[in-house]
Amino acid sequence: MKPLKFIGSSEDDLAEFPREAKGAAGYELWQVQLGLMPSDWKPMLNVGAGAYEIRVHVLGEWRVIYVAKFADTVYVLHAFQKKTQQTRKQDIELAATRYKQLKEGMK
**Percent above pLDDT 90 for the chain:** 88
27-67 residue pLDDT tens: 999 999 999 999 999 999 999 999 999 999 999 999 999 99
* Average pLDDT of the residues in 3-24: 97
Q: Which residues pair with 64 in a beta bridge?
A: 54, 79
Q: Please report the pLDDT score of residue 107 as a whole number.
A: 61
* CATH number for 40: 3.30.2310.20
Instruction: Report the domain count for the chain.
Output: 1
73-83 residue pLDDT tens: 999 999 999 99
Q: Please report the pLDDT score of residue 105 as a whole number.
A: 81
Beta-sheet strands, E only, within the chain = 4-6, 41-43, 51-56, 61-67, 74-82
Q: Which domain holds residue 57?
A: 4-105
